[in-house]
Structure 1
Amino acid sequence: MTAVLSLAIFVVAFFFIATEKADKTKVALVAAGLMAVLGLIPGTEVFFSEHAGVDWNVIFLLFGMMVIVGIIKQTGVFGYLAIWAAKRAKGRPYRLMVMFMTITAIASPFLDNVTTIMLVAPVTVVVCNRLRIPAQPYLIAEILASNIGGAATLIGDPPNIIIGSRAGLTFTDFLVHMAPIVVIVFVAFVLFTRLLFRKSFRYHPEHVAAVLALHERRAITDPRMLRRCLVVFAAVVLCFGLHSVLRSSSS
């Protein structure tokens, strides 16, 4: 009976989330509350059980990522990178898509991929509008590239930290075993987009000047904060690496 009720709650919640007939946050909270109220998950285990309760590793990872991204967003670095990529692509649609996907895929292993897209997408739309080309294919490609790149590290995506905490995997474990596969999949995806979005790659040389006129340095709104963010970010990555090495050597 317990299994049937749990499955029913999951199916109903999944239906409302997938169809977007109700607010996703409310659906998740109501489903979690029903699980606790009906005794499907003992109340004492909701917040404290390592396996059945709230995964605090994921909660604090997301919280930390939101703080980091909120600060980085104020520096304008993603706008700088997007404009720089557009100018290097010289308005060539496929080359532009590859540049945007590469930036997104490189950022996603270290920042939450959802927030990465939220920072890259607005600039993508601006550049596409300047070139008079549809932005939808570029946004779709960036989203998929973000999901691919985020799988490379332990902190690249919430499911990664869930798997890592349950399986006892370190940052190095994820990086060594996942990064090579991610690189191969990403290269294959880049080649696939050439075929998938071939009808969208329309080159308009008369609109290239509008993109070349953009100044990427003006996108940097706070250089001092950007330098501080880079130092802190490098220190965090170094700490993760040292922790993984020490944990591997001790085991």
Structure 2
Amino acid sequence: MKFLLSNDDGYFAPGLAALAAALEPLGEVSVVAPERDRSGSSNSLTLDRPLSLKRAPSGFHYVNGTPTDCVHLAVTGLLEAARPDVVVSGINHGANMGDDTIYSGTVAAATEAYLLGIPAVAISLAKHNAAHFDTAARVAVELVARMQRDPVRGAVLLNVNVPDIPYEELRGWRVTRLGRRHKAEPVIKSNNPRGDTIYWVGPVGTAQDAAEDTDFWAVANGYVSITPLQIDLTAYKQLEFFSAWLK
């Protein structure tokens, strides 16, 4: 089995190294990741300049672009003769649940693979200053091994969030829907050394919709959350209304 790994924390991130080491016994692992932290970059492609590909001493390849750039470049150019069977993005340092998935570069890397017709998994360790990358890596191995034994038909995009606890303390797995957060906190206003006003994006809001079937609830209660995602943004319930509205 051929794996392509990427992330949004950069090629030097400990989560990526843990993921690569865990998956190597299962098949051929290739890594193409951003050269620096590109958290929050979403599904952006770099179209205003050329991209460069370099190889680190670890053997990982890195690109001066976004997570989406990395997967697109790997699948449509670098790995053309050896198309991956599965793309795994992560292990992200921090959760990607609810509304976070819209902004997440981790999810975006997996999304690009999905759009290119390749099964993809985005996996995140749901805590900042996380410690148990080995737990998330073991979850990734078990999920991929299941995909080997029982292949999923067609392209699939899974968003996986793992509690930052020892593996033995996990309570199980839950298939969930995305929850919702409250609105973000206000921007943080300050001044740089020259006296110019600058702004930092404020922290995310707390969970507003964290019902028992959501990713927020699952992770908070010690479960691995697995959310199947889709990319169709069409508001189907409004099609009939706007068709009549435009007559």
Sort the TM-score into its range (normalised by shorter chain).
under 0.3
Report the structure number with the largest CA radius of gyration: 1
Q: TM-score, normalised by structure 2?
A: 0.23
Q: TM-score, normalised by structure 1?
A: 0.23
Structure with the higher fraction of residues in helix conformation: 1
Structure with the higher fraction of residues in strand conformation: 2
